[in-house]
Amino acid sequence: MAQDVKKLFFELLQVSMGTLECVERGPSPEEWKTFYEWAKTQQVEGVGYHGVERLFEFGLRAPQDVSIDWMSEAEMIREQNQQTKQPRVAQYYPETLRDLRQRSADDDGTSQTLDVQQLYRLSQQGRLNMRLLMDYCYVLRATKGRYEKLKAGGVGALLLGTVGQRRFAHGLTWLLHEALALEPEFMQWKPLETEGRYLLADMFGEHSSWQRMVHRMKYLAF
């Protein structure tokens, strides 16, 4: 998938989050459809639709069928969140997005222990997605980038057990900045673009099982 289309999708999410005013260019009808499908598979339908609404004022509108379907999904997510208790991680979201955060089975595992090691395990299982990245991005912003140190009891050096985990942490940092515009002052590790691009492609289903196995063996990820 063309990188510029992904970049435009990330810009839509940044508009949703309020870190970007408008996308660089208006998406084509086919790109809007792609964004809707990505929002579903990446579990950011509700939050993503907030960006769709914000773009209305710039005259940028998704095709009617896409817009109606997306709005319906977002309203279902909002109603579900308003009727039941949300996981703890939702408290880090701004009020405008809290009810639009999509739930998933991963909430049980991340509501109390959302950290790099948890994200690493989910990545190894092929379950890393934009919703989880957004969760972690909001946690880092709320704690001013000190979240891992706070969880470790104030330990200065943030140590991860394997080469694969450390490489993942650096790649994750690049991905958070590239996709969600995480500010440098909230980064806990130096960004590593090569690993970040690997994670990005893996999240979007662009790797074969063989490619994932080779990558794990190369960086001692087992």
pLDDT digits (tens, 9 = 90+) for 41-93: 999 999 999 999 999 999 999 999 999 999 999 999 999 999 998 888 999 99
Choose the weakest-confidence range: 4-13, 22-31, 106-115. Answer: 106-115
**14 confidence band (pLDDT: 50, 70, 90):** very high
Cβ-based neighbours of 16, under 8 Å, separated by 6 or more = 44, 47, 48, 49, 50, 51, 54, 97
Of 20-24, 70-74, 90-94, 105-109, least confident by mean pLDDT is: 105-109
Arithmetic mean of pLDDT over the chain: 89
* pLDDT confidence of residue 28: 97
Confidence of residue 144 (pLDDT cuts 50, 70, 90): confident
Residue with tokens 């660089």: 24
pLDDT of residue 157: 43
Classify residue 166 as left (phi > 0), alpha (psi -120 to 50) or beta: alpha
Over the stretch 109-130, which tens digit does the pLDDT of each residue have?
A: 444 557 898 999 999 999 999 9
160: confidence class by pLDDT, cuts 50, 70, 90: low
66-80, 91-105, 207-221, range with the lowest pLDDT: 207-221
pLDDT value of residue 222: 43
The pLDDT, as a whole number, for residue 149 is 56
pLDDT of 215 strictly over 90 = no
Mean pLDDT value across residues 164-192: 95
Q: How confident is the model at residue 104 (pLDDT cuts 50, 70, 90)?
A: confident
**145-164 mean pLDDT:** 61
